[in-house]
Amino acid sequence: SQQGEEDPQALSIQEGENATMNCSYKTSINNLQWYRQNSGRGLVHLILIRSNEREKHSGRLRVTLDTSKKSSSLLITASRAADTASYFCATDARGSNYKLTFGKGTLLTVNP
């Protein structure tokens, strides 16, 4: 069953604005990962946050993890048109042997 659920399903913003996407999951996890997918392409790994971490930064990306609420958020600051893509969270559940369960994704459109 799908574990990660992102919201919103679609988000449209103007260049320069910040974009926030949320992800909820159901079981205990080892880590949570965020990926980006441009239309018809493979996935690009953005950031991994472990279950004992609460926040992580990478460039314009900021990820938070709240294991008590089983949720995570991805913030993209100062968005660019090139950030237009689908964003997926994926959870590595405890005992899953590194298998990832993907959410349905958020389609982000950044308008120039």
Partner 1 sequence: GAVVSQHPSWVICKSGTSVKIECRSLDFQATTMFWYRQFPKQSLMLMATSNEGSKATYEQGVEKDKFLINHASLTLSTLTVTSAHPEDSSFYICSAVELKETQYFGPGTRLLVL
User: CB of 112: closest distance to partner 1 in angstroms?
Assistant: 23
Residues contributing to the site for partner 1 (CB under 8 A): 2, 30-31, 33, 35, 40-45, 48, 88, 90, 92, 97-105
Nearer to partner 1, 20 or 30 (CB): 30
Side-chain-side CA neighbours of 32 within 13 Å: the count stands at 31
User: CB of 31: closest distance to partner 1 in angstroms?
Assistant: 6
The rounded distance, in Å, linking the Cα atoms of 108 and 66 is 23
What are the DSSP calls for 77-100, one per residue?
-S--GGG-EEEEEEEEETTSTT-E
Nearer to partner 1, 2 or 14 (CB): 2
User: CB of 16: closest distance to partner 1 in angstroms?
Assistant: 27
User: CB of 41: closest distance to partner 1 in angstroms?
Assistant: 6
Residues near 81 by beta carbon (within 8 Å), at least 6 away in sequence: 15, 110, 111, 112
Nearer to partner 1, 14 or 27 (CB): 27
Q: What angle do CA 65, 66, 71 make, to 5 degrees?
A: 80
